[in-house]
Amino acid sequence: MPGSSTGSGTPQGSAGDPTTGTDSNLVPYSDYLAQYAATAQSEVDRELIPADDHQLVREYFQILGS
Assess contact for 40 and 53: CB atoms under 8 A.
no
pLDDT confidence band for 30 (50 / 70 / 90): confident
First to last CA, the chain: 28
CB-based burial label for 49 (10 Å; 0-12, 13-18, 19+): middle
- For 52-66, the pLDDT digits (tens) are 888 998 899 888 888
Q: What is the pLDDT averaged over residues 23-38?
A: 83
Residue 28 has pLDDT above 50, yes or no: yes
Q: Provide the pLDDT for residue 19.
A: 64
Cα–Cα distance, 47 to 50 (Å, whole number):
7
Give the max Cα distance, the chain: 46
Question: Is 0.75 surpassed by the pTM of this model?
Answer: no
Q: Provide the pLDDT for residue 1.
A: 45
